[in-house]
Structure 1
Amino acid sequence: MKQLKLMLLFLAVNFGGLAIGSWLMNNGPLSNWYTNLQQAPWTPPGFVFGIAWTLIMICFSIYLGKLFTEDNTSKNRTIFLIQFVLNVSWNFIFFNQHLVLFALINILLLTSLIFVYFFKLSSAVNNYKYLLLPYMLWLCIATSLNLYILVHN
Protein backbone atom coordinates (compact mmCIF):
# COMPACT_ATOMS: atom_id res chain seq x y z
CA MET A 1 0.00 0.00 0.00
CA LYS A 2 2.86 2.40 0.83
CA GLN A 3 4.49 1.68 -2.53
CA LEU A 4 1.23 2.39 -4.36
CA LYS A 5 0.79 5.71 -2.53
CA LEU A 6 4.36 6.72 -3.34
CA MET A 7 3.95 5.72 -6.97
CA LEU A 8 0.80 7.86 -7.23
CA LEU A 9 2.62 10.75 -5.56
CA PHE A 10 5.49 10.45 -8.03
CA LEU A 11 3.05 10.22 -10.95
CA ALA A 12 1.56 13.53 -9.85
CA VAL A 13 4.95 15.16 -9.28
CA ASN A 14 6.50 13.85 -12.51
CA PHE A 15 3.56 14.73 -14.74
CA GLY A 16 3.37 18.09 -12.96
CA GLY A 17 7.02 18.58 -13.87
CA LEU A 18 6.24 17.78 -17.49
CA ALA A 19 3.41 20.32 -17.42
CA ILE A 20 5.69 23.01 -15.94
CA GLY A 21 8.39 22.19 -18.49
CA SER A 22 5.87 22.43 -21.30
CA TRP A 23 4.62 25.76 -20.01
CA LEU A 24 8.21 27.08 -19.94
CA MET A 25 8.93 26.07 -23.55
CA ASN A 26 7.60 29.18 -25.32
CA ASN A 27 5.86 27.09 -28.04
CA GLY A 28 8.80 24.67 -27.98
CA PRO A 29 9.00 22.51 -31.07
CA LEU A 30 6.38 24.63 -32.82
CA SER A 31 8.33 27.88 -32.40
CA ASN A 32 9.86 29.63 -35.41
CA TRP A 33 13.26 29.44 -33.73
CA TYR A 34 13.15 25.63 -33.44
CA THR A 35 11.52 24.89 -36.80
CA ASN A 36 14.20 26.98 -38.56
CA LEU A 37 17.06 25.02 -36.98
CA GLN A 38 18.88 22.34 -38.90
CA GLN A 39 17.73 19.25 -37.03
CA ALA A 40 19.20 15.78 -36.91
CA PRO A 41 17.92 13.37 -39.57
CA TRP A 42 16.86 10.99 -36.75
CA THR A 43 14.65 13.60 -35.05
CA PRO A 44 11.38 11.80 -34.34
CA PRO A 45 8.03 13.28 -35.38
CA GLY A 46 6.48 15.58 -32.79
CA PHE A 47 3.82 13.13 -31.56
CA VAL A 48 6.53 10.67 -30.47
CA PHE A 49 7.70 13.06 -27.74
CA GLY A 50 4.37 12.95 -25.90
CA ILE A 51 4.15 9.18 -26.13
CA ALA A 52 7.75 8.76 -25.00
CA TRP A 53 7.46 11.09 -22.00
CA THR A 54 4.20 9.48 -20.90
CA LEU A 55 5.79 6.02 -20.92
CA ILE A 56 8.97 7.33 -19.28
CA MET A 57 7.15 9.04 -16.42
CA ILE A 58 4.91 6.05 -15.75
CA CYS A 59 7.91 3.72 -15.58
CA PHE A 60 9.97 6.21 -13.57
CA SER A 61 7.14 6.73 -11.08
CA ILE A 62 6.74 2.99 -10.52
CA TYR A 63 10.52 2.75 -10.02
CA LEU A 64 10.55 5.69 -7.59
CA GLY A 65 7.61 4.26 -5.64
CA LYS A 66 9.59 1.07 -5.09
CA LEU A 67 12.88 2.88 -4.43
CA PHE A 68 11.42 5.19 -1.82
CA THR A 69 9.51 2.33 -0.17
CA GLU A 70 12.78 0.43 0.25
CA ASP A 71 15.35 3.23 0.61
CA ASN A 72 13.81 6.60 1.52
CA THR A 73 16.99 8.50 2.34
CA SER A 74 17.93 12.16 2.17
CA LYS A 75 20.49 11.23 -0.50
CA ASN A 76 17.77 9.72 -2.71
CA ARG A 77 15.46 12.67 -2.10
CA THR A 78 18.26 15.09 -3.04
CA ILE A 79 19.10 13.19 -6.22
CA PHE A 80 15.42 13.12 -7.18
CA LEU A 81 15.11 16.86 -6.60
CA ILE A 82 18.18 17.58 -8.74
CA GLN A 83 16.82 15.29 -11.47
CA PHE A 84 13.47 17.07 -11.33
CA VAL A 85 15.04 20.53 -11.63
CA LEU A 86 17.30 19.44 -14.50
CA ASN A 87 14.42 17.80 -16.35
CA VAL A 88 12.07 20.79 -16.02
CA SER A 89 14.71 23.44 -16.64
CA TRP A 90 16.01 21.93 -19.89
CA ASN A 91 12.83 23.03 -21.68
CA PHE A 92 13.27 26.61 -20.52
CA ILE A 93 17.00 26.70 -21.27
CA PHE A 94 16.70 25.17 -24.74
CA PHE A 95 13.36 26.29 -26.15
CA ASN A 96 12.76 29.54 -24.30
CA GLN A 97 16.27 30.96 -23.89
CA HIS A 98 17.86 29.21 -26.92
CA LEU A 99 20.99 28.43 -24.90
CA VAL A 100 21.85 25.26 -26.79
CA LEU A 101 25.27 24.66 -25.18
CA PHE A 102 23.93 25.23 -21.66
CA ALA A 103 20.98 22.94 -22.50
CA LEU A 104 23.46 20.26 -23.62
CA ILE A 105 25.31 20.52 -20.31
CA ASN A 106 21.96 20.33 -18.50
CA ILE A 107 20.84 17.20 -20.37
CA LEU A 108 24.24 15.54 -19.90
CA LEU A 109 23.90 16.07 -16.15
CA LEU A 110 20.33 14.73 -16.23
CA THR A 111 21.40 11.69 -18.23
CA SER A 112 24.25 11.06 -15.79
CA LEU A 113 21.83 11.16 -12.86
CA ILE A 114 19.49 8.64 -14.45
CA PHE A 115 22.47 6.35 -15.05
CA VAL A 116 23.38 6.81 -11.37
CA TYR A 117 19.87 5.62 -10.48
CA PHE A 118 20.37 2.57 -12.66
CA PHE A 119 23.89 1.59 -11.59
CA LYS A 120 24.25 2.94 -8.04
CA LEU A 121 20.86 3.43 -6.38
CA SER A 122 18.99 0.36 -7.54
CA SER A 123 20.47 -2.31 -5.29
CA ALA A 124 17.45 -2.03 -2.97
CA VAL A 125 14.95 -2.44 -5.80
CA ASN A 126 16.45 -5.29 -7.84
CA ASN A 127 14.69 -5.71 -11.20
CA TYR A 128 12.75 -2.46 -10.88
CA LYS A 129 15.82 -0.68 -12.23
CA TYR A 130 14.91 -1.92 -15.72
CA LEU A 131 11.98 0.51 -15.62
CA LEU A 132 14.64 3.20 -16.11
CA LEU A 133 15.65 1.90 -19.54
CA PRO A 134 13.08 3.99 -21.50
CA TYR A 135 14.28 7.14 -19.68
CA MET A 136 17.93 6.27 -20.30
CA LEU A 137 17.35 5.52 -23.98
CA TRP A 138 15.28 8.66 -24.55
CA LEU A 139 17.85 10.88 -22.84
CA CYS A 140 20.60 9.43 -25.04
CA ILE A 141 18.50 10.25 -28.12
CA ALA A 142 17.61 13.72 -26.79
CA THR A 143 21.24 14.42 -25.96
CA SER A 144 22.27 13.48 -29.49
CA LEU A 145 19.56 15.77 -30.92
CA ASN A 146 20.72 18.65 -28.71
CA LEU A 147 24.37 18.04 -29.70
CA TYR A 148 23.47 17.90 -33.40
CA ILE A 149 21.73 21.27 -33.18
CA LEU A 150 24.70 22.77 -31.33
CA VAL A 151 27.18 21.54 -33.95
CA HIS A 152 25.10 22.25 -37.08
CA ASN A 153 23.56 25.64 -36.32
Structure 2
Amino acid sequence: MSAGWIFAAFLLGSGAAAASGAVFKPGSWYDGLKRPRWTPPGWVFPLVWTTLYILMAWAATRVALRPENGAALALYAAQIALNTLWTPVFFGARRIGLGAVVLLALLATVVTMIPAFWRVDWFAGLLLLPYGAWLCLASVLNLWIWRNNRSSA
Protein backbone atom coordinates (compact mmCIF):
# COMPACT_ATOMS: atom_id res chain seq x y z
CA MET A 1 0.00 0.00 0.00
CA SER A 2 1.35 3.43 -0.87
CA ALA A 3 2.09 6.16 1.65
CA GLY A 4 -0.74 8.24 0.18
CA TRP A 5 -3.33 5.56 0.91
CA ILE A 6 -1.98 4.99 4.39
CA PHE A 7 -2.11 8.74 5.10
CA ALA A 8 -5.69 8.85 3.77
CA ALA A 9 -6.67 6.00 6.10
CA PHE A 10 -5.18 7.71 9.15
CA LEU A 11 -6.76 11.00 8.10
CA LEU A 12 -10.11 9.24 7.78
CA GLY A 13 -9.71 7.94 11.33
CA SER A 14 -8.93 11.46 12.50
CA GLY A 15 -11.97 12.72 10.62
CA ALA A 16 -14.15 10.22 12.46
CA ALA A 17 -12.77 11.47 15.78
CA ALA A 18 -13.36 15.06 14.70
CA ALA A 19 -16.92 14.25 13.61
CA SER A 20 -17.89 13.64 17.22
CA GLY A 21 -17.49 17.41 17.64
CA ALA A 22 -20.11 17.99 14.96
CA VAL A 23 -22.53 15.61 16.67
CA PHE A 24 -21.92 16.76 20.25
CA LYS A 25 -21.62 20.55 20.04
CA PRO A 26 -20.76 22.71 23.07
CA GLY A 27 -24.00 24.72 22.92
CA SER A 28 -25.70 26.73 25.62
CA TRP A 29 -24.81 24.23 28.38
CA TYR A 30 -21.10 24.85 27.84
CA ASP A 31 -21.65 28.60 27.42
CA GLY A 32 -23.26 28.63 30.88
CA LEU A 33 -20.29 27.00 32.62
CA LYS A 34 -17.72 28.98 34.58
CA ARG A 35 -14.51 28.95 32.55
CA PRO A 36 -11.13 30.53 33.22
CA ARG A 37 -10.22 33.81 31.55
CA TRP A 38 -7.45 32.01 29.67
CA THR A 39 -9.92 29.71 27.86
CA PRO A 40 -9.12 29.96 24.14
CA PRO A 41 -11.87 31.58 22.06
CA GLY A 42 -14.21 29.14 20.33
CA TRP A 43 -12.79 29.71 16.84
CA VAL A 44 -9.36 28.44 17.98
CA PHE A 45 -10.52 24.88 18.68
CA PRO A 46 -11.40 23.80 15.11
CA LEU A 47 -8.20 25.35 13.74
CA VAL A 48 -6.00 23.68 16.34
CA TRP A 49 -7.72 20.30 16.05
CA THR A 50 -7.59 20.31 12.25
CA THR A 51 -3.85 21.00 12.39
CA LEU A 52 -3.29 18.36 15.08
CA TYR A 53 -5.26 15.69 13.21
CA ILE A 54 -3.21 16.30 10.06
CA LEU A 55 0.04 16.11 12.05
CA MET A 56 -1.14 12.93 13.79
CA ALA A 57 -2.02 11.27 10.47
CA TRP A 58 1.32 12.31 8.98
CA ALA A 59 3.22 10.96 11.99
CA ALA A 60 1.26 7.69 11.99
CA THR A 61 1.89 7.25 8.27
CA ARG A 62 5.64 7.66 8.76
CA VAL A 63 5.57 5.07 11.57
CA ALA A 64 3.35 2.66 9.62
CA LEU A 65 5.92 2.60 6.80
CA ARG A 66 8.74 1.52 9.13
CA PRO A 67 9.55 -1.83 10.70
CA GLU A 68 9.14 -2.45 14.43
CA ASN A 69 6.08 -0.21 14.59
CA GLY A 70 3.60 -2.47 16.42
CA ALA A 71 3.74 -0.90 19.88
CA ALA A 72 3.66 2.63 18.49
CA LEU A 73 0.63 1.92 16.30
CA ALA A 74 -1.17 0.16 19.17
CA LEU A 75 -0.74 3.32 21.23
CA TYR A 76 -1.99 5.35 18.27
CA ALA A 77 -5.15 3.20 18.15
CA ALA A 78 -5.70 3.65 21.89
CA GLN A 79 -5.27 7.42 21.76
CA ILE A 80 -7.58 7.93 18.78
CA ALA A 81 -10.26 5.88 20.61
CA LEU A 82 -9.86 8.00 23.76
CA ASN A 83 -9.76 11.17 21.64
CA THR A 84 -13.07 10.17 20.04
CA LEU A 85 -14.62 9.28 23.41
CA TRP A 86 -13.96 12.60 25.16
CA THR A 87 -16.44 14.74 23.19
CA PRO A 88 -19.55 12.58 23.77
CA VAL A 89 -18.61 12.16 27.45
CA PHE A 90 -17.97 15.87 28.09
CA PHE A 91 -20.46 17.56 25.74
CA GLY A 92 -22.95 14.73 25.10
CA ALA A 93 -23.33 13.23 28.58
CA ARG A 94 -22.20 16.48 30.26
CA ARG A 95 -20.00 14.47 32.60
CA ILE A 96 -17.21 16.97 33.27
CA GLY A 97 -15.40 14.82 35.84
CA LEU A 98 -15.55 11.69 33.69
CA GLY A 99 -14.39 13.82 30.77
CA ALA A 100 -11.34 14.77 32.84
CA VAL A 101 -10.63 11.08 33.49
CA VAL A 102 -10.86 10.32 29.75
CA LEU A 103 -8.67 13.31 28.93
CA LEU A 104 -6.03 12.37 31.50
CA ALA A 105 -5.99 8.81 30.13
CA LEU A 106 -5.60 10.29 26.64
CA LEU A 107 -2.75 12.51 27.81
CA ALA A 108 -0.99 9.57 29.47
CA THR A 109 -1.37 7.52 26.30
CA VAL A 110 0.00 10.30 24.11
CA VAL A 111 2.89 10.96 26.51
CA THR A 112 3.72 7.25 26.13
CA MET A 113 3.12 7.29 22.37
CA ILE A 114 5.47 10.19 21.59
CA PRO A 115 8.68 8.37 22.61
CA ALA A 116 7.37 5.16 21.00
CA PHE A 117 6.96 7.05 17.72
CA TRP A 118 10.32 8.77 18.26
CA ARG A 119 12.08 5.39 18.52
CA VAL A 120 10.59 4.28 15.19
CA ASP A 121 10.97 7.64 13.39
CA TRP A 122 12.27 10.69 15.25
CA PHE A 123 10.45 13.11 12.95
CA ALA A 124 7.13 11.35 13.60
CA GLY A 125 7.72 11.80 17.33
CA LEU A 126 8.48 15.47 16.74
CA LEU A 127 5.22 15.89 14.80
CA LEU A 128 3.29 14.77 17.90
CA LEU A 129 4.76 17.32 20.30
CA PRO A 130 2.11 19.99 19.54
CA TYR A 131 -0.58 17.39 20.27
CA GLY A 132 0.96 16.63 23.65
CA ALA A 133 1.21 20.33 24.45
CA TRP A 134 -2.41 20.97 23.46
CA LEU A 135 -3.60 18.04 25.57
CA CYS A 136 -1.77 19.49 28.57
CA LEU A 137 -3.71 22.74 28.12
CA ALA A 138 -6.97 20.86 27.49
CA SER A 139 -6.48 18.74 30.61
CA VAL A 140 -5.89 21.74 32.84
CA LEU A 141 -8.90 23.48 31.29
CA ASN A 142 -11.14 20.43 31.80
CA LEU A 143 -9.99 20.06 35.42
CA TRP A 144 -10.54 23.79 36.08
CA ILE A 145 -14.05 23.62 34.64
CA TRP A 146 -14.83 20.50 36.68
CA ARG A 147 -13.56 22.05 39.92
CA ASN A 148 -15.52 25.26 39.39
CA ASN A 149 -18.78 23.73 38.15
CA ARG A 150 -19.36 20.83 40.56
CA SER A 151 -23.12 21.18 40.34
CA SER A 152 -22.90 20.68 36.55
CA ALA A 153 -20.46 17.75 36.73
Please report the RMSD computed on the Cα atoms of aligned residues, expressed in angstroms.
1.7
Q: Does 1:69 align with 2:68?
A: no
TM-score of the aligned structures, taking structure 2 as reference length = 0.89
TM-score of the aligned structures, taking structure 1 as reference length = 0.89
Q: Does 1:6 align with 2:2?
A: no
Q: What whole-Å deviation, never above 9, does each CA across 1:72-118 have from its counterpart, x for those lacking one?
A: 75544432222122111100110111111111010011111111111
Partner of 1:108: helix, strand, or coil? helix
CA contact (8 A) 2:63 2:73 kept: no
Q: 2:82 maps to what in 1?
A: 86
Distance 2:93 2:13 in 1: 24
2:40 to 44, 47, 53: 44
Shift of 1:23: 3.7
Listed as ranges, the matches of 1:109-128 within 5 Å are 109-128=105-124
Structure 2: runs of 5 or more not aligned: none
CA contact (8 A) 1:55 1:134 kept: no
Distance 2:8 2:68 in 1: 16
Letter in 1 for 2:126: Y
Structure 1: runs of 5 or more not aligned: none
Q: Does 1:22 align with 2:21?
A: yes
Aligned length: 149
Q: 2:30 maps to what in 1?
A: 34
Letter in 2 for 1:150: W
